[in-house]
Amino acid sequence: KPTIREIFDSMDYGTAPEGNAEVKAWLAKHQRFGHWIDGAFTAPGKTFATRNPATGDILAEVTQGTSEDVAAAVASARKAQTKWAKSGGAARARVLYALARLVQKHARLFAVLETMDNGKPIREARDIDIPLVARHFYYHAGLAQLMDTELPGLEPQGVCAAVIPWNFPLLMLAWKVAPALAAGNTVVLKPAEYTPLTALLFAEISKEAGLPKGALNIVTGDGETGAALVASDVDKVAFTGSTSVGRKIRQATAGTGKALTLELGGKSPYIVFDDADLDSAVEGLVDAIWFNGGQVCCAGSRLLVQEGVADRFHAKLKRRMDALRIGDPLDKSIDVGAIVDPVQLATIKGLVEANRAGEIHVAACALPEGCFYPPTLITGLSTADMLMQEEIFGPVLVSTTFRTPAEAVEIANNTRYGLAASIWTENINLALDLAPKIKAGVIWVNATNLFDAAAGFGGLRESGFGREGGWEGLRAYLKPGAKTKALAPVAIPEALVEEAPAMDRTAKLFIGGKQARPDGGYSRAVTFKGKLLGHVGLGNRKDIRNAVEAAHAAKGWGRTTGHNRAQILYYIAENLSARSTEFAQRIKDQTGKSGTDEVAAAVDRLFTYAAWADKYEGAVKPVPMRGLAVAVNEPVGVIGALCPDEAPLLGLVSVMGAGIAMGNTMVLVPSEAAPLSATDFYQVLETSDLPAGVVNIVTGSAQELAKPLAGHLDVDAVWSFSSQPLSTLIEKEAAGNLKRTWVNHGRARDWTRADAREFLAQATEVKTIWVPYGE
Ligand code: NAI
C-alpha cells in the first residue's frame, strides 16, 4: 500500500472498490441454475460454468438448454400468450411499470452482477446499462398504455424468441422483452453463454412485478440452444449478435413465416473535420471505442480525420489514451475493464497480430494480468486494409485521413455494414449535409453512443434490419390483425415458348426507361381459355442484372422532393385514367372478370400514394438529454418486387406506388399469368415524366426471376406477392447481403383494401439523427 506521502507525490488514483457481498450472497443461494420456465426455476440439467473474466473465478453453473427445454419454455409462453394479450394495454402497462420500479430498486445488485459476469467497468453498468434498462421499461409501459388507441387494427405476433449477445446482457434483454411484452407477446429468451446471470436475476424479480407465469421464460445455453429456439414453434425471432449468426438465422427461418429482426455487427465511422472541437472529439472517442472495451456493435471503431488536423488530433488522442485506467472492473475509478472471455481476447489478438499495415500505438497504462486488452490505436490505414473492414469488437481503433467532405462520405460508406456514424464539426451545415449521405441507421452529430428507449436503433446492409426503440420498434412486435387465406398458385396457361421473330409485336421489357428485347431472345404467348392475347418477352438473370443497374443509376430519385414525386404519381394516375376503358378490357381479356373496378382502384391507389409522398413524416423524439433524436424516413434503395398474379394492374400499381412515392427505385416482375397489363402500363410511365430507370419491368417466370433478384447484392429489399411458393427461396437468397424481405408466405392479400401504412413502412428505413439542441 502506498504511504500518504507517496500518494501526494504521485497524485495517482486510489482504488475505489464497489462491494459485492450482496451479489455473492445471491449467487451462493443459487450456485447451480436451471432455466426459468413457467414462472419458476427448473432443476439444473447438464451445466457449464459462467466466470468473472476479470478474475477467472467461477460465479455459478448454468444449464445447457436442450431442445426439450426449449419446447417446454415455448409451450409455457404459448399457453400464457392469449390471456396476456387480452389483458389489455393498460394492464400490461402496470406490470411493465412495476418491472421498471423493481429494476431501479435492485439497481445496485444488477449493476454489480453485470460487471462481475461481463467484465465491464462498474461505472458503466451502474450509470449506463441499468438506468437504460429501467428507462426502457418505463417507456414501454407508456407504449402499452397508449397502443390500444394509437395503433388500432394491429395484434401481437404471438410467442417471440429473443437471442441476445454478451456485451450488454441486461440491456439487450430489456430492448427485446419490454416491447414484446408491451405489445402483448410472450417471450422465450436465450442469454449469451458468457453472461446469463442478470437475465436469471431479472426473471426472479419479474415474479415480484406480477408478470404472469409463462409471459417470460429464460433458457440458458450456447449457440446450439439458440439454434433450437430459432427452430422452435415461435412466431417471431429477434436477434442481436454477429453478422455470421444473423445470416444463419435468416437462412434457418426462410419460408417459415416467422417475423425476423436482426441487429448485427458494424464498423462505424467516426468523422472528425478540421473545424471540430478537437478536445471534445477526443473525449467522444473515449466513449466511442473504449466504452465497454469496444465490445459495442455501434462502436466508433473507424476514425476518419481530416488531413490538416490529423497529426494534432492523433497526438491529443494518444495523450488521452495513455491516461486511461484499465483494471478491476469493480473499481469505480476504472475506465476500461476486462474482455468478456478469453475466447474473445484471442479473437482480438489474432486480428491485430495479422495486421501488417499502419502504425500501432498501445496505451501506456499498466495492463493487469488476465483477460485484458490495452486500448490500441492503429493509424495510417487505407480503406482496403483488413482492419478497416473487419469488426474487431475490442478496444482497438483504426484510423485514416480524408481531404474533402465528399471523400469522407465515400470512405465512411466503404463498408458492408451500416449501423451508426458520428460526425464532428462546428459547422452544423456540414454535419446536416453529410447526415443523409452516410449509409447508417443512426447518426450522431458531435456526440457518440447515445441511446434512448424513444429513439429507434438499428442498421442497414449487413448490420441487419429492423429498429429497436420508439414506436417503430414496437411495430416489429405487432402484425396486421386481418386474417388471411391461403393463396392458390395461379395456373399459368400452357403456352408455347418460341423464338421471337425480328419484327413482331411482342411486348418487350422496360429497362432504364427504354423498351428492351429480352437478353435470351425468347418470348411466350399469353393466352386465356385458349385464346391468344399477345406475346411477352421472357426475362432472364441478365435482364434482372440490367434492370438493377438501371435502378441504381436512377437513385437520384431518392433525393427529389416528396412534392415532385407526388406530381409524377398524379400524372401517372391521370394518364392511366385517360385509358381506363382499354386497361379494363385488357384485364377482362386476361382474367375473364370485368376490369372496370380494378382500373378505378388503381387510379385511386396512385392518388393515395401521391398524397402520402410528402406526408409520411418522420418524428422528433423527446430524448432525456441535451439533444433531439430526429427520425427521418429514408428510401430503402433499390426494391425488387414480384407482383401479385390475381390483380394484374392494381397489384402492380400498389407495389410500385408505395415504392416510388418514398423515393425508391424498382425492379418489378409483373403477374406471370396476366402480364399484358404491365406491358401496357409502361406506355403510361413513358408519358408521365417518370425519370428513366425509376421503374423497370421484367416479364417472365416468377420462379426463375425470383432467385437472381433476391440474391442480387445491389438490391436492398425484395418483396413477393407472387402466388407461386417462393418465400423460402427468396428469404434464403436474401441472406447473402442480408437485404430486407417482405414476402406473403402463400397468404392472399385483399388488393382492393388500401393498407398504405404497411407498404410505406416497408418502403422506408428510419434513420435517427441525434443533434445537439437546447440548453
Ligand atoms: P454470436 O453471434 O455467436 O452470439 C450471439 C448470440 O447468438 C449468443 O446468445 C449465442 O449463443 C447465439 N447463437 C450462436 N450461434 C447461434 C445459432 N446458430 N443460432 C441461434 N443462436 C446462436 O456472437 P459471439 O460468438 O458471442 O461473438 C462473436 C463476434 O460477434 C464478436 O467478436 C463480434 O464481432 C460479434 N458480436 C456482435 C454483437 C453486436 O451487438 N452486433 C454482439 C456480440 C458479438
Q: Between helices 580-591 and 676-686, what is the axis angle to 10°?
A: 160
Which ligand 1 atom lies nearest to the CA of residue 264?
A: 41
Quick one: CA torsion of 561, 563, 568, 570, rounded to 10 degrees? Answer: 160
Question: Locate cell 434457418: which residue?
Answer: 252
Instruction: Give, using CA atoms, the residue closest to atom 29 of ligand 1.
Output: 242
Instruction: Give, using CA atoms, the residue closest to atom 32 of ligand 1.
Output: 393
Which ligand 1 atom lies nearest to the CA of residue 263?
A: 41
Its pTM stands at 0.96
- Condensed to tens digits (0 to 9), the pLDDT of residues 394-417 reads 999 999 999 999 999 999 999 999
Which three three-digit cell numbers place residue 608? 393515395
Expressed in angstroms and rounded, the spacing between residue 714 Cα and the centre of ligand 1 is 26
Expressed in angstroms and rounded, the spacing between residue 164 Cα and the centre of ligand 1 is 8
Expressed in angstroms and rounded, the spacing between residue 246 Cα and the centre of ligand 1 is 8
Q: H helices within 292-414, ranges in order? A: 307-322, 342-354, 386-389, 405-412
Which ligand 1 atom lies nearest to the CA of residue 163?
A: 9
Expressed in angstroms and rounded, the spacing between residue 478 Cα and the centre of ligand 1 is 25
Beta-strand ranges (E) seen in 273-381 are: 302-306, 359-362, 376-379
Instruction: Give, using CA atoms, the residue closest to atom 11 of ligand 1.
Output: 223
Q: Compute CA distances 172 → 18, 38, 442, whole Å.
A: 24, 21, 17
Which three three-digit cell numbers place residue 29? 443461494
Alpha-carbon distance 314 to 320, whole Å?
Answer: 10
Expressed in angstroms and rounded, the spacing between residue 630 Cα and the centre of ligand 1 is 30
Residues paired with 41 in a beta bridge = 36
Q: What are the counts of helices (DSSP H) followed by strands (DSSP E) for the chain? A: 27, 33
Contacts of 384 (CB under 8 A, 6+ apart): none
Q: Which residues are tagged catalytic?
A: 263
Instruction: Give, using CA atoms, the residue closest to atom 43 of ligand 1.
Output: 241
What pLDDT is attached to residue 482?
81
Expressed in angstroms and rounded, the spacing between residue 339 Cα and the centre of ligand 1 is 15
Which three three-digit cell numbers place residue 99? 418491472
Residues paired with 377 in a beta bridge = 361, 397
What pLDDT is attached to residue 10?
84
Which ligand 1 atom lies nearest to the CA of residue 419?
A: 41
Which ligand 1 atom lies nearest to the CA of residue 190?
A: 9
Expressed in angstroms and rounded, the spacing between residue 121 Cα and the centre of ligand 1 is 21
Instruction: Give, using CA atoms, the residue closest to atom 30 of ligand 1.
Output: 242
Say if CB 554 and CB 511 are below 8 A apart: no
Instruction: Give, using CA atoms, the residue closest to atom 42 of ligand 1.
Output: 241
- DSSP per-residue codes, 410-431: HHHT-SS--SEEEEE-S-HHHH
ipTM for the whole complex: 0.95
Expressed in angstroms and rounded, the spacing between residue 305 Cα and the centre of ligand 1 is 31
Q: Name every protein residue with a CB atom under 6 angstroms from any ligand 1 atom.
A: 163-167, 190, 192-193, 222-223, 226-227, 230, 240-242, 245, 248-249, 264-265, 297, 344, 347, 391, 393
Which ligand 1 atom lies nearest to the CA of residue 192?
A: 9
Contacts of 202 (CB under 8 A, 6+ apart): 103, 110, 170, 173, 218
Question: Best substitution site from 242, 261, 348 to test ligand 1's pocket, by max atoms within 8 Å of Cβ?
Answer: 242
Expressed in angstroms and rounded, the spacing between residue 229 Cα and the centre of ligand 1 is 14
Alpha-carbon distance 289 to 733, whole Å?
Answer: 34
Expressed in angstroms and rounded, the spacing between residue 111 Cα and the centre of ligand 1 is 22
Which ligand 1 atom lies nearest to the CA of residue 229?
A: 20
Instruction: Give, using CA atoms, the residue closest to atom 38 of ligand 1.
Output: 241
Which ligand 1 atom lies nearest to the CA of residue 221?
A: 11
Instruction: Give, using CA atoms, the residue closest to atom 22 of ligand 1.
Output: 223
Which three three-digit cell numbers place residue 270? 467516426
Which ligand 1 atom lies nearest to the CA of residue 347?
A: 32
Instruction: Give, using CA atoms, the residue closest to atom 40 of ligand 1.
Output: 297
Closest CA to 53 of 345, 349, 393, 366: 345
What pLDDT is attached to residue 504?
64
Instruction: Give, using CA atoms, the residue closest to atom 12 of ligand 1.
Output: 223
Q: Which DSSP state fits 485? A: P
- Condensed to tens digits (0 to 9), the pLDDT of residues 746-761 reads 999 999 987 899 999 9
Inter-residue long-range contacts of 350-356, CB under 8 Å, 24+ positions, other chains counted: 351/386, 351/387, 351/390, 351/392, 351/394, 351/396, 352/376, 352/378, 352/387, 352/392, 352/396, 354/386, 355/385, 355/386, 355/387
Question: Best substitution site from 245, 351, 738 to test ligand 1's pocket, by max atoms within 8 Å of Cβ?
Answer: 245
Instruction: Give, using CA atoms, the residue closest to atom 26 of ligand 1.
Output: 165
Alpha-carbon distance 740 to 474, whole Å?
Answer: 18
Expressed in angstroms and rounded, the spacing between residue 226 Cα and the centre of ligand 1 is 10
Each residue of 350-377: b (16+ CB within 10 Å) or e?
Answer: ebbeebeebeebbbebeeeebbbbbbbb
What pLDDT is attached to residue 531?
87
Query: Which ranges of the chain have pLDDT less than 70?
Result: 493-504
Alpha-carbon distance 296 to 393, whole Å?
Answer: 7
Residues paired with 269 in a beta bridge = 302
Question: Best substitution site from 50, 70, 163, 348 to test ligand 1's pocket, by max atoms within 8 Å of Cβ?
Answer: 163
Say if CB 393 and CB 382 are below 8 A apart: no
Expressed in angstroms and rounded, the spacing between residue 241 Cα and the centre of ligand 1 is 4
Q: Between helices 89-105 and 169-182, what is the axis angle to 10°?
A: 160
Closest CA to 490 of 299, 283, 645: 645
Q: Which DSSP state fits 165? A: -
Which three three-digit cell numbers place residue 4? 500518504
Instruction: Give, using CA atoms, the residue closest to atom 36 of ligand 1.
Output: 242
